[in-house]
């Protein structure tokens, strides 16, 4: 028969080893939590630096679109984003730029999301780029933002040339005898309850002359 004291010692040894592992795990978690909190503080500083990169670019985009865009910035802990809603009779368009981090807060992630409803053509809906938290390249960020903005402008303009989006928005100039999108009209006239659209001021003037 085996020695019961030795058995008890072996059992106690297993309990001791388990307690040691638990204590090491707890210490690791405390350390990991503190390191993550430190990285979150660093992340806030990185966001402050990046704000000077993306702010002027988004302001330039909004300025070029004028009253055709509504900008809605939002700020929460660990996340920055700016949403832009573009006014067009053809579709509901929302462009959003956001900056966040991965779960471990070791990477800064920039994202660009574009929503166009209805979806009647192909376009890039999502793009993102990531940088190590301690090595964010501001020049690369600026280039990425510039590329995304220009790509959006191309998409926006192509939408206004797309036959599927233009369907139901085409009108005829009775003087110039051309068919064109009504939002491109430079002049309009009323004929009773009907609105007549003109592609140029000259054709509108010629219409007025015929009516007089």
pLDDT digits (tens, 9 = 90+) for 51-105: 889 889 988 998 999 888 787 765 555 558 888 999 888 999 999 999 999 999 9
**What is the SS3 assignment for 137?**
coil
Confidence category of residue 165, pLDDT binned at 50, 70, 90: very high
110 near 82, Cβ under 8 Å?
no
Report the alpha-carbon distance of residue 111 to residue 194 in Å, rounded. 46
- Given a cut of 80, is residue 38 above it in pLDDT? yes
Report for 100-104, 110-114, 207-211: range of highest mean pLDDT: 110-114
Paired tokens of 50: 């990046």
94 near 84, Cβ under 8 Å?
yes
- pTM of this structure: 0.75
Q: Which stretches does DSSP call E strand in 78-210?
A: 79-86, 92-101, 107-117, 126-132, 170-173, 178-181, 187-191, 194-198
The pLDDT, as a whole number, for residue 36 is 86
Query: What percentage of the chain has pLDDT greater than the value 70?
Result: 95
Domain ranges of the chain: 46-159, 169-211
């Amino acid at each position: 028969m085996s020695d019961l004291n030795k058995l008890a010692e072996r059992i106690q040894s297993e309990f001791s080893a388990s307690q040691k592992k638990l204590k090491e795990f707890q210490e690791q978690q405390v350390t990991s939590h503190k390191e993550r909190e430190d990285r979150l503080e660093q992340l806030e500083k990185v966001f402050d630096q990046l704000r000077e990169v993306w702010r002027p670019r988004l302001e330039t985009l909004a300025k070029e679109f004028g009253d055709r865009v509504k900008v809605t910035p939002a700020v929460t802990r660990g996340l920055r984003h700016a949403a832009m809603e573009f006014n067009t009779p053809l579709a509901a368009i929302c462009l959003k730029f956001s900056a966040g981090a991965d779960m471990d807060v070791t990477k800064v992630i920039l994202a660009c999301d574009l929503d166009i409803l209805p979806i009647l053509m192909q376009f890039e809906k999502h793009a993102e780029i990531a940088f190590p938290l301690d090595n964010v390249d501001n020049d690369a960020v600026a280039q990425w933002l510039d590329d995304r903005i220009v790509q959006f402008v191309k998409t926006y303009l192509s939408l206004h040339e797309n036959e599927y989006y233009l369907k139901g928005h085409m009108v005829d100039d009775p003087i110039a005898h051309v068919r064109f999108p009504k939002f491109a009209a430079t002049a309009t006239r009323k004929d009773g309850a009907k609105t007549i659209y003109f592609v140029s001021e000259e054709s509108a003037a010629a219409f007025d002359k015929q009516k007089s």
